Structure 1
Amino acid sequence: MAVIGIDAGASKTAGLLLEGESILERRRFPTDASSTAGVERGLTETCATLLEIASSKGLKVEAVGLGIAGFIDHARGVVIDAPNQPLRNYPVRDILEARFGLPVRVENDANAWALAEALLGAGKGLRFLVHLTLGTGIGGGVVLDGRVYRGALGTASEPGHMIIMENGPLCNCGARGCLEALVSGVAIHRRVQAAPGAAVAERAV
């Protein structure tokens, strides 16, 4: 069975075409996070490109999995809030299903990554796994007995927006002193650039 997996981050959108556990194709595009329309365009272009590749290989894609940074209502496929992208109450599952006629599953990107590691990667065979991501933001995922742990509000494993410094730097979520505002890749780059004589590209950080 062929499926498409998409990781929609704040700086890049990456896509995979898979058959079973084998990766057949990879594609990567910059994310246009200047508008909701820009993010949506990147998602649809990534999916359309991989569908064309699948067709050229004689493969039928059965489903699309989307991991996206932010607070996700995975049951409804809605992005409740993505602090580093202009997505608020965004029904991404319905939009992609209507566009491509395929079932779409939406998950927080760190949760999806954690589950993949637990089932197929470094955590295979373990009962408990904690996964942390560091990039434009900071994310986390917890897997217990093969299932993503979400907690009462569905955001149990999101460390990036824990406030660890009173009256600290302003975070994209609107709060001050979040972990993400202090030690994410963007935050580290900002501090390095502010140092005397510094000139470091963000991708180097």
Structure 2
Amino acid sequence: MFLSRRGDSLSNPFEKEIIVRLKQGVVAGVVASVFLSCLLSASAFAQTAGTSVAVLNLRKVFASSEAGKKAQSEMEKKVQELQSKFKKDEDALVALQDEIEKKSSVWSDETKQEKGIEFQKMRRDLRVKQEDAQMELKKLEEQQLGPIRKDLEQVIEKLAKEKGYSIILPAEVVMYSSDAVDITDEVTKAFNAAAKK
């Protein structure tokens, strides 16, 4: 009737879905995909004569820019807050599962049924709370990334006009590029400077 902790994916599902994402740097990947559209929009400002291509490492800009560091810090702080919020519920659920596994053989059918219902309700309630937390985290991502995307787009467009770039590509989609066309440090510097104004 009850699955083992290994098979039930009960070992801190919230941590699996949220914390591990951060540790693997997926937040930076999400930011990269969000920025993709604003990078490609730089081509609209291209000069008609000739083609000048530049490459930009979005993950590096996010990781090294002041705005990116601040956004990542806010996200990590929120994740820790949510993790701590669910720890009590998760511990209670694991404790109940342990009790059921150890004592079910001596319980009456009525007690088994009551404990089973209690377990299912606790697990269902926890999952609902986790889904709400994921929505809250997604909303925070949008709040953090919205202004960053707008500011970065302006920096990229200005740089494209000043340097005459026909197109700026994210490094994530380029198989090979020379260091000479990498403008990551230049964009990061301009982005940080713009943020201080």
- If asked which structure has higher relative contact order (CA below 8 Å, sep 6+), I would say 2
Please, what TM-score do these two structures have when normalized by structure 2? 0.22
Question: Over alpha carbons, which structure has the higher Rg?
Answer: 2
| Structure number having the greater helix percentage | 2
